[in-house]
């Protein structure tokens, strides 16, 4: 697992990014564990739009560490598009009260984690998260709204390229966090591909007790829908899974920590799952990938299981 260091950035680029995001210079390692997940991919095509609505259930009334819920979408360049619902020891930085989450659109890559504006949401809220590739075929626009009222909660756009091939949910626990106390529901998930891929549905996978129903396709395999996804509440000691996409974020209004997590395999060693980081300057995590994936160099600082 790696926390991106300021040395990765040019002096000017990092100074600008840090000033905008209130980033301190010290960056620290943390340990992650994972709850249930459902994922699709890789597709033989590419994803051009993905939309889902999450009903998160209440956040833990007290929090040790940091807890994240997110639907994520990854590509071969290493960017992870992920709007996150977050539970910190105090969520007052986004205006949330006890039992509420902070939600914001964000993207993770070799550059670290970049975020849109945050908003508080309650456990019963229906949080609609849409990722859409724009007309330039390079920029991804994230739009997070209240599905019932239409209120805008967060937005972010990033030049992450037209190469998104995998999509999945994440329930992520940093620093021995207080796990989820209620199940999460994802409803009306729709993934649109650039071209038809009739095999895409066969790539669906679950972990950690997660379930789904109503997987269907239309337009000859170009549009894929999942009526509902259920992610169970985490146990007191959440187990690490090897099928979740393993990239995360951790930020507050006054501090920012960026990380790339890797899961461990059995007692015989460790292997990173699809889309996980597997190398890069200063990387200390798993350097081998779970079969059939291989560790592919993206740049000096980042290699990924693809």
pLDDT at 78: 77
Q: Are 101 and 59 in contact (CB under 8 A)?
A: yes
Which tokens hold the place of 245? 């996409």
DSSP per position, 221-235 = TTEEEEEEEEEPPPP
CA distance 64 to 33: 13
272 secondary structure, DSSP code: B
Cα-Cα-Cα-Cα dihedral of 108, 247, 174, 272, to 10°?
-160
pLDDT at 247: 36
Tens digit of each residue's pLDDT (9 = 90 or more) over 187-197: 999 999 999 99
Report the relative pairing of strands 80-82 and 66-75 from DSSP bridges. antiparallel
SS3 at position 92: helix
pLDDT at 23: 31
Phi, psi of 203 (to 5 degrees): -90, 0
Cα-Cα-Cα-Cα dihedral of 139, 246, 21, 175, to 10°?
170
Name the architecture of domain 29-261.
Sandwich (2.60)
Q: Which residue is associated with the tokens 């859409």?
A: 132
Tens digit of each residue's pLDDT (9 = 90 or more) over 75-130: 766 789 999 999 999 999 999 999 999 999 999 888 888 999 999 999 999 999 99
CA distance 118 to 142: 13
Quick count: other Cβ atoms within 10 Å of Cβ 297? 11
> Residue 10 contacts by C-beta under 8 Å, 6 or more apart in sequence?
none
pLDDT class of 13 with cuts at 50, 70, 90 = very low
More confident of the two residues 244 and 215: 215
pLDDT at 220: 97
CA distance 97 to 99: 6
Mean pLDDT value across residues 182-186: 96
Residue 171's DSSP bridge partners are 69
CA distance 159 to 215: 30
Contacts 24+ apart (CB under 8 A), 199-204: 199/44, 200/40, 200/41, 200/43, 200/44, 200/45, 200/224, 201/40, 203/40, 203/41, 203/42, 203/43, 204/38, 204/39, 204/40
More confident of the two residues 246 and 70: 70
Q: Would you list the domain boundaries of the chain?
A: 29-261, 265-306
Q: Are 293 and 278 in contact (CB under 8 A)?
A: no
């Amino acid at each position: 697992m790696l926390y991106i260091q300021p040395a990765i950035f040019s002096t000017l680029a990092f100074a600008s990014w840090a000033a905008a995001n209130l980033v301190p210079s010290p960056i620290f390692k943390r340990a992650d564990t994972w709850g249930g997940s459902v994922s699709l991919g890789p597709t033989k095509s590419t994803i051009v739009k993905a939309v889902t609505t999450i009903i998160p259930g209440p956040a833990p009334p007290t929090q040790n560490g940091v807890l994240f819920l997110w639907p994520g979408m990854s590509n071969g360049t290493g960017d992870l598009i992920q709007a996150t619902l977050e539970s910190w020891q105090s969520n007052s930085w986004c205006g949330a009260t006890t039992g509420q989450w902070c939600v914001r659109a964000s993207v993770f890559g070799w550059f670290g984690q970049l975020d849109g504006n945050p908003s508080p949401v309650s456990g019963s809220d229906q949080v609609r998260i849409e990722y859409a590739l724009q007309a330039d075929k390079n920029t991804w626009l994230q739009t997070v709204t209240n599905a019932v009222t239409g209120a805008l909660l967060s937005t972010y756009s990033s030049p992450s390229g037209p190469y998104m091939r995998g999509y999945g949910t994440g329930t992520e626990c940093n620093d021995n966090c207080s796990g989820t106390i209620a199940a999460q529901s994802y409803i009306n998930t729709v993934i649109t591909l650039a071209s038809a891929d009739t095999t895409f549905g066969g790539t669906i996978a679950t972990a950690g007790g997660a379930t789904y129903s109503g997987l269907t396709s239309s337009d000859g395999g170009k549009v894929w829908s999942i009526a509902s996804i259920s992610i169970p509440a985490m146990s007191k000691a959440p187990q690490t899974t090897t099928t979740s996409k393993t990239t995360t974020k951790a930020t507050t209004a006054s501090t920012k920590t960026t990380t790339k997590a890797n899961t461990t395999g059995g007692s015989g060693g460790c292997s990173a799952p699809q889309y996980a980081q597997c190398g890069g300057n200063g990387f200390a995590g798993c350097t081998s990938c779970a079969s059939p994936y291989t560790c592919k160099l993206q740049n000096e600082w980042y290699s990924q299981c693809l």
